[in-house]
Amino acid sequence: MNNTLAKFRTYCNSLTKYSRYKTREVFVGETPLGAYNPIRIQSMTTTDTMNTIATVEQSIRMVDAGCDYVRITAPSKLEAENLLNIKNELRKRGYKVPLIADIHFTPNAAEIAARIVEKVRVNPGNYADKKSFRNIDYTDSEYDQELDRIRQKFTPLVKICKEYGTALRIGTNHGSLSDRIMSRYGDSPLGMVESALEFLRICENENYYKIVLSMKSSNPKVMVQAYRLLIRKMEDENMYYPLHLGVTEAGGGEDGRIKSALGIGTLLEDGIGDTIRVSLTEDPEFEVPVALALVNRYKNRENHQDIKPLDALPYNPYEYTKRQTFEVSGIGGNNVARVVADFSRRKFITVDTLADIGYFYDSAFDKWNMNDSAADFIFLGDIVPDFDLPNGLKPINNYSSWKNNKNKSSPLFTAKEYLNNVNLSKDINFIRLGIADLDDVLSEKLKNQKTTVIVLESENLHAMPEQRRVFCELLFQEITNPVIIKRTYNKISLEDFILFSSTDFGALLIEGFGDGVWTECPIIERDLPDNVYIKSFVQKNETYEKTINKILFGILQAARTRISKTEYIACPSCGRTLFDLQETTDLIRKKTEHLKGVKIAIMGCIVNGPGEMADADYGYVGSGIDKITLYKGKEIVRRNIPALNAVESLIEIIRENNDWQEPKL
């Protein structure tokens, strides 16, 4: 396959050389972003905005943790007015942090806030529109009338921002596109971009330029495509506004971190992003270290080894297309991405060892049971087990050991061994390949060997783009062998491992690259961070292999490449939330985590939640004090029921829709 794009236009400075994409500098108070300023970190308070002291104290905790900006919700005029008290109290306590008002549906609150705080965020999907989920067929003149209506509603805010020097974020969310945008562009990255551009053009007509843009989605694939497309479209109109990166409703714990890193990290790898907010269903001060870890990874990135530049692009970075491969023993073709567990650092393995990667031996019945996160391959280095492995788990050995145990496993060759070898396995052969190995001789041999799977490695500091460069070469040369992406990390903390591996694998998977994942991680610091969310995911004494296996399956799920568990779309909560969102999310998770593939949204408020639930199958949405409204897709099925029984009612609805299964004991 060679679908080289006739015109090579990309969305960043380079796909092979790390370089920050330069945007216009915008001052938010005295802290500028964009251009060559550091990537700014921000988060959002979860307190009631009317509670001045609680909001001030939480803001201070966020600043002390490393926030450059603090965002506060202003659902109505009252909260917008109270921003002045919050700002004054912060200044009194010596904190000059710029404040951002978060606005949905209430232009009058925005107009008050713009006179008080340093920046206002509006959502173009709900600033001038109420969503009815109707598909309306607009004529061109009706569409223009709609744009005129928006201009009239939005221009007063722009004029105030201009007068007061207030910055503005046009923050599009995938889940809350207006009916107008949906009817013309669909539920798509292009629709998200057009939604922002409509508002942006109004600003420029007023000669107002202190603008930041965001394109958030709970689906990292959609989010990444939307930002890329936004850059292209802005360049077409000679616009270079700074970008705020975020994955919305990412949830909490490891899933929230994986999803956030996958979306934000993928863009940071290409030098995109001027400010980030990691949005977790956790206290906001826990979001900040995650954001800092993601950003700090790029401090010395420009010193990486050179990667041969691209002068054409053999895939479309604005749409997902899976790279076509042939199948070798269950890898490649139309199979889901495979997971390779690496036990090569062990001296031996036992039957019990395999429980770490999802296989449980039942001695009473002499049979193996497996769970939904059972690895597909196990790399054993030179170990030859003295028991029969479960059927679903295929062993791989170094070529030197395989030679003596040919019918027990599959060989892993170095490129040199592979080129010199005439005696390959007749079933499946793995070859370790780095960018320098792929010469004409090897390319020719790979093309002719329909039993070979590439294990793609990189030691470059800029490893993901180097591996992406190899995928481009494979596409150019029409080499269709399956590829397992392999990464090795040394001396890394657990939290960094979650974030970095999610970025590195996820960035390739959402491009359609990779038929499997494999990581070798010799050292993860065993001291777990002082974070209850991470501690609930990784037990103190669990093995590296078990942790890695869980994370790899989580990455595949977040990239929507392989579904092995329930997906939760949970908002981070804010001053609009009227119930304990973290506690409720935990409770729902405990009761439903065995429902593989079901997507459940837990949203703090009825004003914004339903629009933001994206493609959830079921929704649990706060709709008043002690009141919950339950959704099946976008339809309300129970309105304002008491919170006390709402989780049980949610389960009833899942049951009625045949998505319920009894948990295995």
Binding site for ligand SF4 (CB under 6 A): 571-574, 576-577, 603-605, 608-609, 612
**Which residues lie across from 456 on neighbouring strands?**
433, 485
> Which CB sits closer to ligand SF4, 412 or 603?
603
Q: What is the residue type of 174?
A: H
> Which CB sits closer to ligand SF4, 546 or 576?
576
Contact status, residue 315 vs residue 323, Cβ threshold 8 Å: yes
CB atoms closer than 10 angstroms to residue 475: 20
CA distances from 258 to 198, 250, 436, 637 (A): 32, 9, 30, 31
Contact status, residue 6 vs residue 20, Cβ threshold 8 Å: no
Question: Measured from the CB of residue 181, what is the shortest distance to ligand SF4 in angstroms?
Answer: 19
> Which CB sits closer to ligand SF4, 29 or 609?
609
> Which CB sits closer to ligand SF4, 109 or 485?
109
> Which CB sits closer to ligand SF4, 29 or 622?
622
Question: Measured from the CB of residue 462, what is the shortest distance to ligand SF4 in angstroms?
Answer: 35
Half-sphere exposure of 648 (CA within 13 A, CB side): 5
Sign of the torsion angle spanned by Cα atoms 466, 253, 611, 245: negative
Q: How many whole angstroms separate alpha carbon 289 and alpha carbon 524?
A: 18
Question: Measured from the CB of residue 489, what is the shortest distance to ligand SF4 in angstroms?
Answer: 33
> Which CB sits closer to ligand SF4, 524 or 616?
616
Question: Measured from the CB of residue 46, what is the shortest distance to ligand SF4 in angstroms?
Answer: 8
Q: How many whole angstroms separate alpha carbon 413 and alpha carbon 394?
A: 16
> Which CB sits closer to ligand SF4, 349 or 574?
574
> Which CB sits closer to ligand SF4, 385 or 622?
622
Beta strand 483-488 pairing with 452-456: parallel
Closest CA to 230 of 247, 212, 218: 212
Q: How many whole angstroms separate alpha carbon 551 and alpha carbon 568?
A: 16
Q: How many whole angstroms separate alpha carbon 210 and alpha carbon 588?
A: 42
Contact status, residue 396 vs residue 379, Cβ threshold 8 Å: yes
Question: Measured from the CB of residue 249, what is the shortest distance to ligand SF4 in angstroms?
Answer: 8
> Which CB sits closer to ligand SF4, 173 or 397?
173
Cβ-closest residue to ligand SF4?
604
Half-sphere exposure of 109 (CA within 13 A, CB side): 24
Question: Measured from the CB of residue 101, what is the shortest distance to ligand SF4 in angstroms?
Answer: 13
Q: What is the residue type of 300?
A: N
SS3 491: coil
> Which CB sits closer to ligand SF4, 446 or 603?
603
Question: Measured from the CB of residue 571, what is the shortest distance to ligand SF4 in angstroms?
Answer: 3
Q: What are phi and psi of 58, to 5 degrees?
A: -70, -40
> Which CB sits closer to ligand SF4, 249 or 495?
249
> Which CB sits closer to ligand SF4, 49 or 266?
49
Contact status, residue 42 vs residue 100, Cβ threshold 8 Å: yes
SS3 394: strand
Question: Measured from the CB of residue 159, what is the shortest distance to ligand SF4 in angstroms?
Answer: 26
Question: Measured from the CB of residue 70, what is the shortest distance to ligand SF4 in angstroms?
Answer: 15
Contact status, residue 271 vs residue 21, Cβ threshold 8 Å: yes
CB atoms closer than 10 angstroms to residue 254: 22
Q: What is the residue type of 450?
A: K
> Which CB sits closer to ligand SF4, 501 or 623?
623
Any residues with CB less than 8 A from the CB of 622 and at least 6 apart, and which?
A: 577, 578, 579, 581, 603, 604, 605, 606, 609, 628, 629
Question: Measured from the CB of residue 605, what is the shortest distance to ligand SF4 in angstroms?
Answer: 3
> Which CB sits closer to ligand SF4, 456 or 581?
581
Question: Measured from the CB of residue 575, what is the shortest distance to ligand SF4 in angstroms?
Answer: 7
Question: Measured from the CB of residue 609, what is the shortest distance to ligand SF4 in angstroms?
Answer: 4
Q: How many whole angstroms separate alpha carbon 602 and alpha carbon 252?
A: 11
> Which CB sits closer to ligand SF4, 220 or 609?
609
Any residues with CB less than 8 A from the CB of 237 and at least 6 apart, and which?
A: 197
Exposure string for 174-204, b = 16+ CB within 10 A, e = fewer:
bbbbbbbbbbbbeebbbbbbbbbbbbbebbe
Question: Measured from the CB of residue 449, what is the shortest distance to ligand SF4 in angstroms?
Answer: 52
DSSP line for 273-304: -SEE----SS-HHHHHHHHHHHHHTTTTGGGS
Question: Measured from the CB of residue 610, what is the shortest distance to ligand SF4 in angstroms?
Answer: 9
Q: How many whole angstroms separate alpha carbon 398 and alpha carbon 383?
A: 9
Question: Measured from the CB of residue 236, what is the shortest distance to ligand SF4 in angstroms?
Answer: 32
Exposure string for 206-243, b = 16+ CB within 10 A, e = fewer:
eebebbbbbbbbbbbbbbbbbbbbbbebbeeeebbbbb
The 3-state DSSP composition of the chain as helix, strand, coil percent (nearest 5) reads 35, 20, 45
| Angle, CA of 560, 638 and 573, to the nearest 5° | 55
